[in-house]
Amino acid sequence: GLQAVNKLNELRQTGVISSKDVPVLIISAYQREELPENAPGIDAFLHKPVTASLLYDTMVEATGGQPWVRHAVEQISVPLFRGSSILLVEDNELNQEVARRWLDKTGAMVTVAGNGKEAVEKVKESTFAKEIAKDIEIAKDIEIAKDIEIAEDVEKAEDTEMVKDTEMVKKSGFDIVLMDIQMPVMDGFEATRLIRTDFPDIPVIALSAAVMEEDRKKAKEAGMNGHLAKPIDDRELYLTLSKWLRPTGVDDNNHVNDNNHVDDNNHVDDNNHVDGDNHDVKSFFPASILPEALEGFDLKKGLRSTDGDPVFYNKLLCRFKEQIERDFVNMPQIIRNSDAPEQSASRHNVQAMIHTLKGLAGTLGAVNLATVAADIDLACKKGEKIAEGLIFRLDSALKNTERELGKLTENSTLNPEQGMKYQIAISPEQAGEIVETLLYKLHNYELVDDDLLSMVAHFIDSRSGQGASSELIELVESFEYARAESVLEFLVQKTGENL
């Protein structure tokens, strides 16, 4: 790429190209600081893996604008899909948690399946029979209803002779399916084909870190209606959902792409503070929860993928370290063993594992690991022997990632019975706001975020002694919100703080 930029500059200087200078944007898995000292001038730098919003912002920067400009002028509220039912099909728990973070904001009912086979079973279980009246006019003539298309009660239809000619049709209880492509047991392609046999009309959207044209073609052939790239971009997700579902409104206190306001010190900007009716707790968590930098990571990218919430991001990073130690640490040797001709099944497992690693690393901002995983994934798809150099790079990236994530273990997230492992000083003003937020959610029977509950629990325990918040935590986790509200009011009064 740098050679091409040098050549273009040379052609302009010699007059071979007479057009005006065009902004140059370099795409790489490496850091901008790692470019050679004699590298030609570039206008912007884009890290792999690339998301739609990151590409847009880098293009804005390359043309002389400022990143995030569009968010200030193009801020839109999160759409609500209350009453809609979404099936999320994803085999990795970390990816499930990230996706649920975005989906729960919409108010839709979300069900999770861990593989394609489980997804097919859940779709069939959700099926309900509906009576379709072929002759709607019969119903109108006898004034049973003004506009009836479906007789839900067959016995009633027969008793009143409202409909004499009906047929049973199957309709899924889910309004949309978000389907990962590469999964164990049964992949997304096969699951979609089986779902399409009985449910031809349900929208199925592919989720995949693979963005090759071949994958899109296979998704379309399987009957999928669209494609969302991983890491999931919240804006693209909500636009896709709005295309297939009917929004019931918008959440004016929750804006799409607010998560992108992350400064160079990994702070979430002032648009995410708790103010008035905006019940958000992100700004109470200091930047010390995350280090200023981790080698091989783009922490800003990871924060964008995790709702701009440093606590949530930190929790996922710690769990990613555990998963590396459990599932991926021996990947280099597994790859070497899989290259034997008789190991075709093992080779398939390697491709599935490396695809999962690529997606996780990309979502969590482990850019170096994501890049080498993507290179190996591509080699697997082409049926090529994986070069020893690639295996060495993977081994180095895994060790480096594990070492860097080891710096976060002391800051891991809460144990509900012990409160927060990290200690955060909370001022009375901040305590008043987070308590008010929790009371609001309990009173209105809104889903309580774990981070909010843990913050309040930490505050109470720090004032009244370790374990003082245990009853509150138990009630909230049991969804006994009315009792939890009363207990919280009592506990706050007991602290002696004038909130």
DSSP assignments along 39-60, one per residue = PPP-SEEEESSP-HHHHHHHHH
User: From start to end of 60-165, where are the E strands?
Assistant: 77-80, 85-89, 109-113, 128-133, 150-151
Which of 393, 319, 316, 317 has the alpha carbon at shortest distance from 354? Answer: 393
Task: Report the pLDDT averaged over residues 271-299.
Answer: 59
pLDDT of residue 169: 38
Task: Report the pLDDT averaged over residues 215-244.
Answer: 88
pLDDT of residue 47: 56
pTM greater than 0.85 (yes/no): no
pLDDT of residue 6: 75
pLDDT of residue 184: 86
Q: Provide the percentage of residues in the chain whose pLDDT is more than 90.
A: 30
How many angstroms separate the CA atoms of 497 and 491, rounded? 10
In this predicted structure, the answer to whether residue 394 has a pLDDT above a threshold of 60 is yes
How long, in residues, is the chain? 499
Which of 481, 487, 479, 433 has the alpha carbon at shortest distance from 455? Answer: 433
Confidence of residue 392 (pLDDT cuts 50, 70, 90): very high
Confidence of residue 411 (pLDDT cuts 50, 70, 90): very low
Mean residue pLDDT of the chain comes to 75
In this predicted structure, the answer to whether residue 222 has a pLDDT above a threshold of 70 is yes
Task: Report the pLDDT averaged over residues 275-291.
Answer: 50
Which of 70, 73, 103, 105 has the alpha carbon at shortest distance from 89? Answer: 103
Axis-axis angle for helices 188-198, 116-125 (nearest 10): 20
In this predicted structure, the answer to whether residue 192 has a pLDDT above a threshold of 90 is yes
Tell me how far apart the terminal alpha carbons of the chain are, to the nearest angstrom: 59
Confidence of residue 86 (pLDDT cuts 50, 70, 90): very high
In this predicted structure, the answer to whether residue 159 has a pLDDT above a threshold of 50 is no
Question: Alpha-carbon dihedral of residues 359, 360, 366, 369, nearest 10 degrees?
Answer: -60
Higher pLDDT: 389 or 349? It is 389
pLDDT of residue 143: 46
Give the ranges where 339-407 is alpha helix by DSSP (H): 344-363, 367-381, 388-405
pLDDT of residue 2: 67
CB 465 within 8 A of CB 477: no
pLDDT of residue 257: 54
Tokens representing 371?
């890049």
Higher pLDDT: 432 or 237? It is 237
Give residue-wise pLDDT tens across range 127-153: 653 333 334 444 444 444 444 444 444
Higher pLDDT: 444 or 286? It is 444
Q: Provide the percentage of residues in the chain whose pLDDT is more than 70.
A: 66
Give residue-wise pLDDT tens across range 436-457: 889 988 888 777 877 788 888 8
